[in-house]
Structure 1
């Protein structure tokens, strides 16, 4: 998939994982399952999850835990690829 195709697919994705006050630990298994089923997954970090750190830091941590690549972060949303 070329870069332009990936950008189009990322734009069209719906958020399917929300990280809330329970933090990253609570969504690792669900995200891992979703990445097994599809290449790209969009993750939204709610205000309670971001307390004390940036979305980039949280997204990088989550990507490392599920052995995925962090494709993009915009605002409080990240896209992961495996």
Structure 2
């Protein structure tokens, strides 16, 4: 897959995992399941989830928990792949 095609696929993804005030613990299993079914998963971190940290830190922690890689972080959204 070319870089342009890959970038377009990532851009066109819909958010399928939302992280809210309960944090990343409650979405870990769902994220793991989704990564088993598809190549990329887009995650949105709401303000309550971020608290005193940023989306990059939360995305890295989530990626570590589900053995995935952070492909992109932009604003309050991240894309992971396995």
Does the alignment reach a TM-score above 0.5? yes
Q: Distance in 1 between matches of 2:42 and 2:18?
A: 9
Match of 1:44 in 2: 44
Q: Which aligned runs of 4 or more in structure 1 are off by greater than 6 angstroms?
A: none
Q: Which runs of 5+ in 2 are unaligned?
A: none
Match of 2:61 in 1: 61
Q: Distance in 2 between matches of 1:36 and 1:72?
A: 19
Q: Distance in 2 between matches of 1:42 and 1:4?
A: 18
**Cα displacement (A) at 1:3:** 1.8
Q: Distance in 2 between matches of 1:69 and 1:44?
A: 16
How much is the aligned-residue C-alpha RMSD, in angstroms?
Answer: 0.6
Match of 1:11 in 2: 11
Aligned residues between the structures: 82
TM normalised by structure 1 equals: 0.97
